[in-house]
Structure 1
Amino acid sequence: MTTVAVTVAVLLLGLPGMALGSLYILRSADEDVHRRATQIANVVDKNVSDQREGLKGRGQQGNFDVLPLDVMRATVDGATYPMFVRVAISGEKAEVGAQTDEDAIEHTATGTSGAQVTVGIERSAVWRRIGLFISLGGAAVAVSFVVAVALARRQSRRISAPLIYLAAAAEQIGAGQASPRMKKSGIEEIDLVYEELVRTADRMAGRIAAERQFAADASHQLRTPLTALSMRLEEIEYISEQEEVRQEAASCLEQVERLTGVVTDLLRSSRAVEASTEAVSLSRLFEQQADEWERSFAKADRRLVFEDDAGVAVLATPGALAQIVATLIENSLKYGGGTTKVAARKVGKGVVIDISDEGEGIRKDLVDAIFNKGVSTGGSTGIGLPLARSLAEGAGGRLELAQAAPPIFRLTLNAVPKSINPQEILPAGAIVSVGARRRRR
């Protein structure tokens, strides 16, 4: 908007201003020669009048010098442009300055004494002055554009950065974060929206806590009478001698057991803590995996190499990401050969982690089914890779076989942009270090 405003100002003011300025310079030059010619003609008329009065008073007659050479020289020397002045009266002529430009701007004034005064300036000099004025105007326009673009970029960053943080705060609320963190931006409207998001998060947290507490209390209060009722029905079923009563007691007991299962599920749900997506540091993850697997690879006389060329954190569930990488490393150790390499690189807005080795790879008949449950290349259960793919999809990523021989498994995840400071938009402790726990396939 700032750039558009400057562009409109230049089109509406700058260009017409330069055109009017050029016209003003040309018109001023024309008025200058007209004014100077008239002034010199008046001086000649005054000289003629003074000379005639002086000679008449002495009763003399004859020719007299009325050419104002001093005035003519002063006019030429003080002119802005190269100028020439010619005066002709009673057969006498005088010229100061030479006319070097055939196409000159000139004006001839005729005095009351019959004197003809011609004053002229070089038209090329006037056009040079106009060109200089237009050049300065163009430079001013260019500088204004540069300043406008710089201000626009600065202003856009000042506005866009808080909006990115605001979007991240909303994402935290959607992921279950009760109290998102964000510094005040200084922009009143954005700060008002953020404060309202915080109040909304507090209200949501209160309601969720109340619902969980209600579910826990209700489940706890219902379990005791249901247990007593179940025991009573079992007793009736055991001591009754009537088959019909025993059948009814058994049916009621089944219903009570089903209701007890529902109550147990409610209690378990109220105590469950849902895992949320966080910013996970790949360097710390790689350090943990190296500590866990280097000894096993050394025993197998093989090497495990980690490369983190991405340099950014990824959005994932820490435990799930560690399990995915550990599963792929373990498969490489069991079924692969040579050096196993875990390399991360930045691709667009995401991060790609390639796990590869120098082994024979995946058989052609298993390439399409490698992620199906029960499919294995070494007689194992065949649930490791399907579980890893499911965990990757749960974190918003993708796990695929990029190359069969030598094998390359590719894990794609969303990256946290470098322009966003995780310490400002993510909760404390969000950049985590995954604990060293052995994942089994």
Structure 2
Amino acid sequence: MRRRLLSSTLLVAVIAVLLLGVPLGVAVNRLIQEEAIQELSGEAKSLLNEVEYARIQEQPITREQLGRKYPERYVQIYARGTPPQVTTVGTEPPEDRKMSADAQSESGVYVSVSRDKTQVEQQVRAWLLLILALAAAALAVAVGLAVVQSRRLTLPLRDLAMIAERLGSGEARPSKHRYGIGELDRVAEVLDRSATRIADLLAREREFATDASHQLRTPLTGLTMRLEEIVAAADDPSVVKEEGEAAIVQAERLTAVIDELLAAARRQRHAQTAVVELDPLLDQQFIEWGPAFRREGRKLVLAGTRGLRALGTSGGISQVVSTLLENSLRHGGGPVTVTTSSTDKSIVIEVADEGPGITDELAPRVFERSMSGAGGTGLGLTLARALAAADGGRLELVRPRPAAFAIFLRPVGDPGRNRVVSGPA
């Protein structure tokens, strides 16, 4: 491209110089020739007047006078009379290089002034050389400007090609480079936007992998506990049946979690909220987490108002409650109390324990991603809050020490009951 720009610019410059230089050279040649002829004609008329005046005054004009006044000229004077007078001054130039002008009066005086064309041609050549020098300078300037312009265009294009190659290799980082050229700046802006989108997609994929590994651990833990109970109670058929059914429920929850995580990865989670009975949902959570708490010598207590209903999705609410119970089991202490209550604006599920709680430094950032004060992944509360928000509710830390979390859900009859909620899960 750079060579093409140079050649095209040079071609345009050559054409422009030819279109201007050739007519200018012809015009200069003609102008100098005409100026020389006009000069000779003026000298002939002036000489004629001098000769006429000398004849009237009867004063002769000598050759020395004419030679001093008209140097480098060949002068001829002819005057009628008896005998006629003919006077010549200077050396006559060759016929092929002769340039002449004459003048004649009514009294019969004729003068002719001639010169050699060599000096005129030298002057013409000098002007033509000047025009050629100017043309060469113009071409040099054009080539210089073409080099600068080609560098200004090719270097940004190389830079953009490197940015595009970097995007193709997976390094999605906006360059923020601008070049002062409108078209190239628009291409750079498009590449920057593409880099941002690619970076967002890669971040979503990484988040999905991390979220999936975290969220799948809780149902798998519950499933493992159920299977352990089945093994421990193999001698009691009724217990085996009960634990087997619980294991099936855990497997179904695992399938639901996978579906929701896949939908969240595509940013296409559209949850049609419905009326959820909270009692069966919480009872199921107690059945799943009861054995784990009993092995730790701790209690699960359900308190508050029974028979409450809220707007949301059973899968989302179950995962939020399950995350809070798991956090209490791992990081809390003493009995865990799940309290349900209702207000005019919300249905509240509070999960509280009697452990050491959350430090003042960690409390304001407890819902931030990858923020953990006890060596965990720091994803559970982040995902739980996102799930609550997807159902139109919210998850809050209501007391740091001892820790107490509350899920605020929309009551039945809320105006936004049938709205479609989209967003990360």
**Aligning the two structures, in what range does the TM-score lie when normalised by the shorter sequence?**
0.3 to 0.5
